[in-house]
Amino acid sequence: MTGRIRRWITVLTLAVSLLAGSGAAQADDIKKAGDILRFAMPIFAGGYSLARGDDDGLVQFAKSFLVSSGIAFGLKKAIHEERPNHKDDESFPSGHVVNAVSAASYLDHRYGWKFGLPSYLLAAFVGYSRVESHEHHVIDVVGGAFLSWGVSHIFVTPLPIQAGAEIGRDRALLRISAQW
């Protein structure tokens, strides 16, 4: 396991541990954490692409995020699924999960599993927070996840990898590079 993955898992474990309490306070903290991650994950995904100078990736993420969010909004208005807390009839699909999985799927598909795995764990926590806070049914979370994942795989391409080899009389050279 690389150091970066260990750090992600440590941060996630620490965050969950800090949220561990009892009763209503714990439920409120879990809901707040899910609310924060809904925005933090897409901001991180876009910011990471921006920091790397990956303009193509940033455009792909924007398209994926906007299309999946738009479809989710349309489905909420068309389906009229009542929330478990009876607040309204816009439960399906979970918009929080659509946002989080859109970011996670982008990071996974564009940059690989080392970014994808911790991002999917955080997105799963967002889904858990929505069910735990009685904002969504499990099917709302699963539906939002599949929606975002599918849309992301339509718009997002992995970074191009170029490979080449040179074999000379007294040397062999293998060259692999990625461009963005």
pLDDT tens for 135-155 read: 999 999 999 999 999 999 999
pLDDT tens for 122-131 read: 999 999 999 9
**pLDDT at site 180:** 44
Q: What residues form DSSP beta bridges with 97?
A: none
Boundaries of domain holding 40:
3-178
Coil/strand/helix, residue 173 = strand
Q: What residues form DSSP beta bridges with 164?
A: 175
Count of structural domains within the chain: 1
Query: What pTM value is reported for the model?
Result: 0.79
Q: How many helices (H) and strands (E) does the chain have?
A: 6, 2
Contact status, residue 110 vs residue 116, Cβ threshold 8 Å: no
Angle of the 55-79 helix axis to the 23-52 helix axis, nearest 10? 140
pLDDT at 116 over 70: yes
